Amino acid sequence: MEDGAVNEVVQTTQDTVDEVVQTTQNTVDEVGRFTSYIQENIPVIISFGLKVLLAILIFCVGRIVIKWIRKIVVKSLERSNVDKGVEQFVDSVLKFALYFVLIFTILTKFGVDATSVAAVIASAGVAVGLALQGSLSNFAGGVLILLLKPFKVGDYIIEDTNQNEGTVKEIQIFYTKLSTVDNRTIVIPNGMLTNNSLTNVTEKDERQLDLRIGISYSADIRKAKEIMEKVLLKEPSVLKEAQINVFVAELSESAVLLGVRAWVKSDEFWPAKWRLLENIKLQFDENGIEIPYPQMTVHMGEERG
């Protein structure tokens, strides 16, 4: 019984040793075949490695050349005093075009036929064009913005559809960047800006202030108008040579609405508006002119016995 157990252990050990030997032999054979393959294809591997190194070198040098060309073009545009938006747009297009040429050159260095590459790119261009119709629309929108100039870099615009507004910072190939008064960045596709209405707030050097201020029905209208005129004349931002109007705009339910119209420089619009509203309120308080809040008068009838 014990001899049988020993024989079984010996047989198992022998099988394990044979399996290890066979696995080792297979590994050695695989390594040998791989070594033979490497030895037989050393020229091809070296050639491919050199091509890869050459491609990396071409790409690195190409990036430097592209930056140099872009810098020269930007400086030329700056000397020509072109619009900042045109400068940014041309720089973006030039960047894409030069990198395309660089990649095309690298592919040809790997032995790829230029005609085949051109055919593939043309076919891919059609497919990508169909898939990216919105992007093409945005590109066309960028071109229209530069040609028609509804706004330029530095203008404050309001996109009327979604009420996005801010100062134009960049006009790129596919989008325009706005910077808001609270320092947020809004990115709007160019197609949206050309296909919808927008308001260019700062295109003109001057802008009209149009204020509405309510006073009580019991207040002296003439005195209130006189106070408002004096405040307007004391405000340094108001253009005194332009027309200044103070008038009764509306007789509303709870107040007499007095209107104010005056002209200021566009970049002084908001500070001037805030100062005028504050000073008018202070002068009304000093002179007993009440600015009422919405109210309702209820008349109670006598009870009948």
How many Å apart are CA 161 and CA 69, to the nearest integer? 39
> Where is pLDDT greater, at 258 or 95?
258
- pLDDT surpassing 90 at residue 281: yes
In this structure, which amino acid lies at residue 262? Answer: A
Q: Tell me what pLDDT residue 18 has.
A: 66
pLDDT band at 139 (very low <50, low <70, confident <90, very high): confident
- Look up the pTM and report it: 0.51
Q: How far apart are CA 143 and CA 190, in angstroms?
A: 9
pLDDT score, position 238 = 92
Q: Averaged over 240-257, what is the pLDDT?
A: 90
Domains defined for the chain, CATH in brackets: 44-131 (1.10.287.1260), 139-200 (2.30.30.60), 206-286 (3.30.70.100)
The two structure tokens encoding residue 16: 């394990």
How far is residue 121's CA from residue 57's CA, in Å, rounded to a whole number?
Answer: 24
Predicted local distance difference test score (pLDDT) of residue 1: 47
- The per-residue pLDDT for 137 is 78
CA nearest to 105, candidates 52, 62, 53, 50: 62
* Cα-Cα end-to-end distance for the chain: 127
pLDDT digit string (tens) for 70-81?
888 888 777 777
Report the pLDDT value the prediction gives residue 108, as an integer from 0 to 100. Answer: 73
Q: Are 269 and 260 in contact (CB under 8 A)?
A: no
How much is the pLDDT for 52?
Answer: 77
pLDDT class for 274, splitting at 50, 70, 90? very high
**38-59 pLDDT tens trace:** 666 677 667 777 777 877 888 8
